[in-house]
Amino acid sequence: MNAYEVNFDGLVGPTHNYSGLSFGNVASTSNVSAASNPRLAAKQGLQKMKALHDLGFKQGVLAPQERPDAAALRRLGFGGSDAEAIARAAKEAPAILAAATSASCMWTANAATVSPSADTADGRVHFTPANLNNKFHRSIEHPTTRRVLQAMFADEARFAVHEALPAQMHFGDEGAANHTRFCAGYGQPGVEFFVFGAAAFDSRYPKPAKFPARQTLEASQAVARLHGLTEAGVVYAQQDPDTIDAGVFHNDVISVGNGEVLFHHQQAFLNQAAVLDELARKLASRGGRFSAIEVPRAEVTVEEAVKTYLFNSQLLTKPNGKMLIVVPEECRNNERVWSYLQKLVASGGPIDEVKVFDLKQSMQNGGGPACLRLRVALTETELAAANQRVLMSDELFAALNGWVDRHYRDRLAPADLADPQLLNECRAALDELTRILGLGMVYPFQLA
């Protein structure tokens, strides 16, 4: 049976703004207080989805969340009606209002960790929404994320959507941004690669000194257990703490994998040679031939990788078996990084084409092509059992562009977050979106 990797990109929400909430994410904190353009951000994301769909890749959409989260504000003591809670938060704690208004769910690489049926003990596709415990503005996402995933993958005979791990620092889980999978074919058993920043219970592991390690070893191990993965099909690796301190807040900022290929920086992992050897051995036991493409720091520094998001790219397998690398415009604008990419595609290796997208609205908030998508490997039968209305098509692209035009502002400054009308606009947009995507009632305001 044929199997595919489907990329589900996050629709940028109506409250997309630059509040600089993500300590450790250099781009996010560098653009704090700038005015954003939610309409343009959403359309840039849609353009990428449609372009990849037109190239023949399977592409889907993941819905954004209700923001501002008035219920979260009330839990923090900002009482009264929704409008009153927003007004009080704007006056007394604008940073908390900004967190409750964040559109960070657009980076769906953090939505969940996904294991395909070929890897799991019960033969189902497993999803564990990430608790995103390290940042308040992201920690409030997972209940809605789970409902949306359940609406997209409702057949419990084929799909299992777990609850998030306990919302506590020992089990900090950032989802697929720290997870990838290697395989000879998407429908064949593979090796799932979990990358963590620190261990919560084992002091033998080093920790970064400047920025937080958002993913713990214990969280990765818990997800592997929930998904019924075997030891032979799992590799754990620790990020280099110095690299985290250089702004590599997730593994997908310093490496990306697809099929049998890992594209990574020389300073991605601790004990890197041993990690690559274990990946090669375990993939070989599952019928694959592991290929590691290591970028030397002499050609691209960690700082250049962070600035351009060279590794926060997508690797997509083309019909000829070669791979396309999808990068943001910032890579083309950096002479050294662009020179490396030209050399890479001319090398005769597995990556033979580069495609550039303008994702500036997302990039300025710290998210590139890889941040914007959640990869789900599905067999033909599983794909047919998923919600077909979330899959990209000419009709859906036109419908979503029209939806954005009707509901999104073209400018959002920090002061605008205090506008109570913004919540009404968001709810009106999401109410219509659930009908477009056939999701049913998944948002708190619909369930009240």
Residue 340's nearest CA partner among 258, 240, 263 is: 263
- 28 labeled binding residue: yes
- 202 labeled binding residue: no
- 115 labeled binding residue: no
- 214 labeled binding residue: yes
- 118 labeled binding residue: no
- 313 labeled binding residue: no
One-letter amino acid at 193 equals F
Is there a catalytic annotation at residue 331? no
Which residue among 371, 382, 407, 426 is the active-site one? 371
- 25 labeled binding residue: yes
**Does residue 68 have a cis peptide bond before it, meaning omega lies within 30 degrees of 0?**
yes
Which residue among 250, 264, 265, 407 is the active-site one? 250
Is there a catalytic annotation at residue 174? yes
Burial class (CB in 10 A: 0-12, 13-18, 19+), 435: exposed
Burial class (CB in 10 A: 0-12, 13-18, 19+), 346: exposed
Backbone angles phi, psi at 322, to 5 degrees: -80, 170
Q: How many CA atoms lie within 13 A of 35 on its CB side?
A: 9
Residue 326's nearest CA partner among 49, 103, 115 is: 49
- 184 labeled binding residue: no
- 402 labeled binding residue: no
Burial class (CB in 10 A: 0-12, 13-18, 19+), 321: exposed
93 contacts: CB under 8 Å, gap ≥ 6: 76, 78
- 19 labeled binding residue: yes
DSSP class per residue in 68-115 = S-HHHHHHTT--SSHHHHHHHHHHH-HHHHHHHH--GGG-GGGTEEEE
CB 33 within 8 A of CB 21: no
CB 199 within 8 A of CB 205: yes
- 137 labeled binding residue: yes
- 26 labeled binding residue: yes
Helix axes 394-407, 421-437, angle to 10 degrees: 170
Which residue among 5, 66, 174, 304 is the active-site one? 174
The first and second tokens of residue 281, run together, are 């051995």
- 110 labeled binding residue: yes
List, as residue ranges, the binding site. Answer: 19-28, 110, 137-138, 214, 252, 365
List, as residue ranges, the binding site for substrate. Answer: 19-28, 110, 137-138, 214, 252, 365
Catalytic machinery residues = 174, 250, 371
